[in-house]
Amino acid sequence: MRSADPARAIRETYLAATPASAAAARRAAGSLPGGDTRTMTWYAPYPLFLTHGEGTRVRDADGRWYEDMLANYGALAHGHDHPALVAAVTRQISRGTAPGGPTAAQYEHAERLRALTPSMERIRYCNSGTEATMWAVRTARAHTGRDLIVKIDGGYHGTHEWGQVSAFFTAPEDSGDAPTRPRPARGVPAATAADVAVVPYNDIRTAATTFDRIGDRVAAVIVEPVLGVGGGIPSGPGYIAALGALAHAHGALLILDECATVRLGPWQRRHGVVPDLTTHSKVIGGGLPLGAFGGRADLMAVFDPAGPDPLYHASAFGGNSLSLAAGIAALDRFGQREIAHLDLLGERLRRGLDAAARATGVHGHAVGEGGLSYFHFGDTPPRDAAATARLRRGRAELRALLHLDLLHAGYLTAPHGLLCQHVLTEPATIDDFTAAYATCLDRLRPYLADHHPELLTRASADTVRAAI
């Protein structure tokens, strides 16, 4: 039995179960600010330090195993030690990782990527999603001769300068700011924000007004077909196609950022939308760093080194053999069967999470598409990042407690609510996970009654009161 104060019990359980992670965090803090090197992976009091991955499970420094329901924030899809991927990397590493000239692996990976995403007639490689979106936008700017880009409020495209304009934050409710005012992160020059126009997701009217105002200066609109970091929000029917039509009507390009949604097939293939440029990363690298951008051959011709005034796109490890070898092995195991399996898992997960919320009398919803899901507390699923911010406001501790309690139950997730699976994950694992989710929600009901009574149904609140 746990104590009547679930928040305290959950924290104490975490501290008691993770002394080796605590020690690692202390040691790490001597070299890394705060003890971590990815802002996304840190959480209080300290994150689990992970030592092993095996199949769909990971092990922490204390030797506890967790079923991986996060897949490195959607960057993995084939588990942690897939024999074919391990063999491909092992074979390649003995032959060199980056020989310093073109390799067959580059066109062999590109041929597979074109088959997966036919709108990518020509492709260039880089090492991350950040680089991929940076280069896609530069391609659009070089082609159109225009500087402005239109991006989504809460649209996440990585950590370069314009990517950190309105990447997470929407206007605070009481600030009086329009949610469409570009908000550069600390350290990003105001001049960068001046080249970015920001529009809310799933709102084609505001996009149309924006294009009417500045469309003749816009190089491209860049958009995630499912708003990932912004809350796992699917784009509404026709929204992405309408954005593309708007851009084209003003002589601008449509860039689809499919870094996360490649796990959907990618998204553009299942929805029949053909962008001018696409960015990929994550799954296409088979567990190693790899980014790619590409699209119409005439646009990508700006990189042809033998052409007139080519764009200078260099990178010491761009298109390196190791990432491409892993990526080729991954793409060879990422066909319709695997994508359909991820879809099935995602749908089962969202149904199960909704059922868990209903069964415990907690107001919450699963959202997402295919193998990319999110759980939000609150009444109404969000349609844009401002709605996500409203649903999260004042509930950081609640989400943190749910996350720690899920760890205790043996499931690796993320505090913000993202859930992604591997193609090796079994449907039964999803059912076990959603059952554990229900148990954790149930355990949190006294906390909810005290701190967030609006999140309990009346019947649920009554049973909490009766139990006191």
Would you say 56 or 164 has its CB closer to ligand PLP? 164
Cα(237)–Cα(271) distance, rounded to whole angstroms? 9
**Six-digit token pair at 462?**
């009554």
HSE-up of residue 223 (Cα within 13 Å, Cβ side): 35
Would you say 43 or 59 has its CB closer to ligand PLP? 43
Cα(425)–Cα(278) distance, rounded to whole angstroms? 28
Q: How many residues bind ligand PLP (CB under 6 A)?
A: 13
224 contacts ligand PLP (rule: CB under 6 A): yes
CB of 224 to ligand PLP, least distance (A): 5
Would you say 228 or 286 has its CB closer to ligand PLP? 228
Interface characters, 29-58, with ligand PLP (x: CB under 6 A)? ------------------------------
Would you say 163 or 182 has its CB closer to ligand PLP? 163
**Six-digit token pair at 195?**
């080249």
CA angle 234, 380, 76 (to 5 degrees): 35
Binds ligand PLP by CB under 6 A, chosen from 18, 56, 119, 128: 128
* Residue 445, Cβ density class (10 Å: 0-12 exposed, 13-18 middle, ≥19 buried): buried
Would you say 156 or 162 has its CB closer to ligand PLP? 156
Residue type, 297: A
203 contacts ligand PLP (rule: CB under 6 A): no
Binds ligand PLP by CB under 6 A, chosen from 278, 281, 373, 434: 281
Among the listed residues 48, 46, 20, the one whose alpha carbon sits nearest the alpha carbon of residue 34: 46
227-246 residues near ligand PLP, rule: CB under 6 A: 228
Contact 208, 246 (CB under 8 A): yes
Cα(396)–Cα(168) distance, rounded to whole angstroms? 15
- Tokens 């860049």 — which residue? 222
Interface characters, 68-107, with ligand PLP (x: CB under 6 A)? ----------------------------------------
| Run of H or E residues at 253 | strand 253-257
Contact 105, 325 (CB under 8 A): yes
CB of 167 to ligand PLP, least distance (A): 10
CB of 156 to ligand PLP, least distance (A): 5
* Residue 11, Cβ density class (10 Å: 0-12 exposed, 13-18 middle, ≥19 buried): middle
326 contacts ligand PLP (rule: CB under 6 A): no
Q: Which residue is nearest to ligand PLP (CB)?
A: 129
Q: Which stretch binds ligand PLP (CB under 6 A): 156-164, 192-200, 435-443, 454-462?
A: 156-164
Would you say 21 or 130 has its CB closer to ligand PLP? 130
In sequence order, what are the residues at sequence separation of 6 or more whose Cβ sits closer than 8 angstroms to the Cβ of residue 388?
A: 154, 230, 231, 233, 376, 382
374 contacts ligand PLP (rule: CB under 6 A): no
Contact 158, 134 (CB under 8 A): yes
CB of 2 to ligand PLP, least distance (A): 35
Would you say 10 or 273 has its CB closer to ligand PLP? 273
Q: Which stretch binds ligand PLP (CB under 6 A): 127-135, 212-220, 383-391, 438-446?
A: 127-135
**Six-digit token pair at 138?**
């530069």
CB of 279 to ligand PLP, least distance (A): 7
- The most distant pair of C-alpha atoms in the chain lies apart, rounded to whole Å, by 78
129 contacts ligand PLP (rule: CB under 6 A): yes
249-278 residues near ligand PLP, rule: CB under 6 A: 257, 259-260
CB of 95 to ligand PLP, least distance (A): 26
Cα(296)–Cα(306) distance, rounded to whole angstroms? 18
Would you say 229 or 436 has its CB closer to ligand PLP? 229
Buried/exposed 272-299: b ≥16 CB within 10 Å, e otherwise: ebebbbbbbbbbbbbbbbbbbbbbbeeb
Would you say 389 or 436 has its CB closer to ligand PLP? 389
In sequence order, what are the residues at sequence separation of 6 or more whose Cβ sits closer than 8 angstroms to the Cβ of residue 138?
A: 311
Binds ligand PLP by CB under 6 A, chosen from 156, 201, 334, 447: 156
CB of 188 to ligand PLP, least distance (A): 16
Q: Which residues here bind ligand PLP, judged by CB under 6 A?
A: 128-130, 133, 156-158, 224, 228, 257, 259-260, 281
